[in-house]
A and B are shown apart, each in its own frame.
Chain A
Amino acid sequence: MKVLVFGEVVDGTIQNITYELVACAKKLGEYLTLVTSDADVSSIDGRVIKVNAGETNPWHYKIVEKVIERENPDLILFGNTSSSVDIASQLSAKLPVATSVYEVSAENGEVIVKSLSYGGKIIVELKLTTPAIAVVNVGSYNAEDGKGTASVEEIEIDELGVRDGIEFLGYIKPEEEDVDISKAEVVVSVGRGIGDETNIEMAEELAELLGGVVAGSRPIIDQGWLPKTRQVGRSGKTVTGKLYLALGISGATEHVEGVKAKNVIAVNTDKTAPIFRVSRLGIVADVNELLPTLVDKIREIKEG
């Protein structure tokens, strides 16, 4: 099976998802990567087609179409991320597509995928006729396996004969430089179950005691209890450190996608909360009750 990977560039940098998709493609057969913005592509394993068409833009689907015509792939892989989905979803008007995919395999020339759907409560297994598109969740494959040495072919955008429709104006970066939760070894993350804002302080204290940082799920950020830079999940950041301590987070798919820490410990009152599915240790308890006791005990250990 021949696989085309859509390489994602944000603000001039190849995103990690690209390597993850290459890792996935490698398992399926012949593969190549298309990158539509200017970036250093040298660490992408295998063939790379580079078209410098400016910052990532939804109209780049037209470039992908041209490359599909030229290369005839059986499968095109996209990351389930904000800018890649713009392109994947427009291409799926013509090609069969599966979204929220976490596992891709090939069988008798057909593509079989597994999608984690309904807030992580149901797995849907789908069969796609080729050529097909799979939109793969962040963290489903190991990025290291997709790194290597690129053999790059550059194509001038003019050669493709496609035009611009939407104009990129610029990036708006978060106002303050905040701690980078994606690089922290220990992340104490709070969700809806934390109850009220005052408990954030206690979570901060716990994070400090553990030498980590505080993060949160979307509802917490939406409420303005933590800055946007502290959001974990699809529209936030992906945490990759040693420990992710999820306090009162139910674990919706969009959230869990951003949880790639080596160890996940979750505290939730609901035994069936999907967060427990990605945890090695689950504690069935009310965060509001547990947190003060836990902070006290750890403080004692630290001070004693």
Chain B
Amino acid sequence: MKICAILRLVPDLVEEIEVEENEIIPFRYMPNERDEHAVEEAIILKEKTGAEVEVIGIADSENEADLDEGLGMAAAKGADKLYKVVLDRPTYKRCEIAKALADFLSDKNYDLILTGIQAIDSYAGNLGGILARYMDLPYIGGVVEVNVSNGNTIVKKELGGGLLAEYKLPLPAVVSVVSAERPLKFVPFTKLRQAMKKANIEEVELELPEIEGVEVLKYEVPPEPEITLIEGDVEEVADKLIEALKELSIL
């Protein structure tokens, strides 16, 4: 079995993001958390089934350096092969990325393509489903567990409120992961640095197709909310909160 997991970068929200009307300028990028879970699930499947795991990192010329940590992390956890896909320009359109990726993946013969269910910057599409259609493969998202036995692939999908559903999936397929079966494995610094040094990363440049239909009119910071903000010492604010609870006749 051959699996790949897709690892994208998203702006690091711990740092300030500059917002202008026609662009946003993040200070730096970090791996998309849901994609990290997709990588983790791929590693779990490797442990369960001995599958071969390849991780495909996606960046563009502006943020490619920020991808190394995520790829190194994947290598340290046991990924067999790493790709660094550098797109020829940044894009917010998931369909453009999916189209380019679909061409790139078409001859790789993966049984399972894993991706994170979403990213903080996915306002123009979710990658997994679009990719599946361009590759003409079955697709399911919202997955929290993948099991492969006797040629059957059974996934658990999260429906909210603690409710799950099980589906049987024909392979090859594309699966979007919400969270891996276990918490992300910790990788100590030395192991990460060694993995980053040793990692065999194949760099690929991909040309993005232009797909029309979606256009950003503007970016803006949400207006300051109409809210009463209370600051002060604990005693004071506790009293004010109690007053508010009384007003709502909860107390």
Show the binding face of A for B, using Cβ within 8 Å: 10-11, 55, 57-59, 81-83, 85-100, 112, 115-129, 132, 165-174, 178, 182, 186, 210-211, 222, 227-229, 231, 234-237, 242-243, 253, 263, 265, 267, 271, 276-285, 289-290, 293-294, 297-298, 301
B227 touching A122, Cβ below 8 Å: no
The answer, among A10, A88, A211, A236, for a CB contact under 8 Å with B129, is: A88
Nearest first, the 5 A-B pairs at minimum CB distance are: A89-B129, A96-B213, A93-B133, A174-B162, A82-B142
Number of A-B contacts (CB under 8 A): 264
- Mark out the residues of chain B between 69 and 116 whose CB falls within 8 Å of any chain A CB in the assembled complex: 94-95, 98
Known A85-B126, A171-B165, A298-B242; 17 more pairs at CB < 8 Å: A58-B129, A86-B140, A87-B129, A88-B129, A90-B133, A90-B139, A93-B129, A98-B124, A170-B166, A172-B163, A172-B166, A173-B162, A211-B250, A227-B162, A278-B225, A283-B229, A297-B238
B215 at the A interface (CB under 8 A): yes
User: In the bound complex, how far is the Cα of B87 from the Cα of A201, in angstroms?
Assistant: 49
Please name all residues of chain A whose beta carbon is closer than 8 Å to the beta carbon of B179 when the two chains form the complex: 222
B183 — nearest CB in chain A belongs to which residue? A222
Distance from B185 Cβ to chain A, minimum over Cβ atoms (Å): 15
User: In the bound complex, how far is the Cα of B11 from the Cα of A98, in angstroms?
Assistant: 19
Interface of B is mostly: mixed
Asked, given contacts A92-B95, A126-B215, A263-B248, whether A10 binds B163 with beta carbons under 8 Å apart, the answer is yes
B234 touching A284, Cβ below 8 Å: no
User: In the bound complex, how far is the Cα of B213 from the Cα of A200, in angstroms?
Assistant: 48
Please name all residues of chain A whose beta carbon is closer than 8 Å to the beta carbon of B65 when the two chains form the complex: none
Asked, given contacts A125-B217, A210-B251, whether A283 binds B121 with beta carbons under 8 Å apart, the answer is no
B121 touching A174, Cβ below 8 Å: no
Please name all residues of chain A whose beta carbon is closer than 8 Å to the beta carbon of B121 when the two chains form the complex: 117-118
B187 at the A interface (CB under 8 A): no
User: In the bound complex, how far is the Cα of B128 from the Cα of A90, in angstroms?
Assistant: 8
The answer, among A83, A92, A243, for a CB contact under 8 Å with B125, is: A92
Stretch with Cβ within 8 A of A (4 or more), from B40-48, B52-60, B151-159, B191-199: B151-159
Please name all residues of chain A whose beta carbon is closer than 8 Å to the beta carbon of B227 when the two chains form the complex: 276-277, 279-282
A285 touching B17, Cβ below 8 Å: no
B141 touching A86, Cβ below 8 Å: yes
Distance from A123 Cβ to chain B, minimum over Cβ atoms (Å): 5
Q: List 24 A-B contacts (CB under 8 A).
A: A85-B142, A86-B142, A89-B125, A93-B95, A97-B125, A118-B17, A123-B219, A124-B123, A125-B216, A125-B217, A125-B218, A126-B124, A126-B217, A166-B138, A169-B168, A173-B162, A182-B161, A210-B251, A237-B160, A243-B250, A276-B225, A281-B230, A281-B244, A285-B231
User: In the bound complex, how far is the Cα of B238 from the Cα of A283, in angstroms?
Assistant: 9
Distance from A265 Cβ to chain B, minimum over Cβ atoms (Å): 6
Render B169-203 as a binary contact track against A, CB cut-off 8 A, 1 for contact.
11000000011000100000000000000000000
B163 touching A173, Cβ below 8 Å: yes
Please name all residues of chain A whose beta carbon is closer than 8 Å to the beta carbon of B142 when the two chains form the complex: 82-83, 85-86, 235
A290 touching B237, Cβ below 8 Å: yes
User: In the bound complex, how far is the Cα of B244 from the Cα of A182, in angstroms?
Assistant: 22
The answer, among A58, A89, A97, for a CB contact under 8 Å with B138, is: A58
The answer, among B163, B222, B229, for a CB contact under 8 Å with A123, is: B222
User: In the bound complex, how far is the Cα of B222 from the Cα of A285, in angstroms?
Assistant: 23
Interface of A is mostly: mixed
B210 at the A interface (CB under 8 A): no
Distance from B60 Cβ to chain A, minimum over Cβ atoms (Å): 17
A124 touching B219, Cβ below 8 Å: yes
B165 touching A58, Cβ below 8 Å: no
User: In the bound complex, how far is the Cα of B92 from the Cα of A269, in angstroms?
Assistant: 32
User: In the bound complex, how far is the Cα of B27 from the Cα of A121, in angstroms?
Assistant: 14
A235 touching B158, Cβ below 8 Å: yes
Please name all residues of chain A whose beta carbon is closer than 8 Å to the beta carbon of B163 when the two chains form the complex: 10-11, 171-174
Asked, given contacts A165-B138, A229-B162, A289-B234, whether A98 binds B250 with beta carbons under 8 Å apart, the answer is no
Please name all residues of chain B whose beta carbon is closer than 8 Å to the beta carbon of A231 when the two chains form the complex: 161-162
Please name all residues of chain B whose beta carbon is closer than 8 Å to the beta carbon of A121 when the two chains form the complex: 13, 17, 221-222
The answer, among B160, B216, B225, B244, for a CB contact under 8 Å with A124, is: B216
Asked, given contacts A11-B163, A227-B162, A276-B229, whether A297 binds B129 with beta carbons under 8 Å apart, the answer is no
The answer, among B124, B160, B230, B241, for a CB contact under 8 Å with A97, is: B124
Please name all residues of chain B whose beta carbon is closer than 8 Å to the beta carbon of A222 when the two chains form the complex: 179, 183
Please name all residues of chain A whose beta carbon is closer than 8 Å to the beta carbon of B213 when the two chains form the complex: 95-96, 128-129, 132
A170 — nearest CB in chain B belongs to which residue? B166
Asked, given contacts A58-B139, A231-B162, A281-B227, whether A290 binds B167 with beta carbons under 8 Å apart, the answer is no
Asked, given contacts A82-B159, A117-B120, A119-B120, whether A99 binds B125 with beta carbons under 8 Å apart, the answer is yes
- Mark out the residues of chain B between 1 and 41 whose CB falls within 8 Å of any chain A CB in the assembled complex: 11, 13, 17, 19, 24
Please name all residues of chain A whose beta carbon is closer than 8 Å to the beta carbon of B242 when the two chains form the complex: 294, 297-298, 301
Distance from A195 Cβ to chain B, minimum over Cβ atoms (Å): 15
The answer, among A85, A94, A267, A279, for a CB contact under 8 Å with B141, is: A85
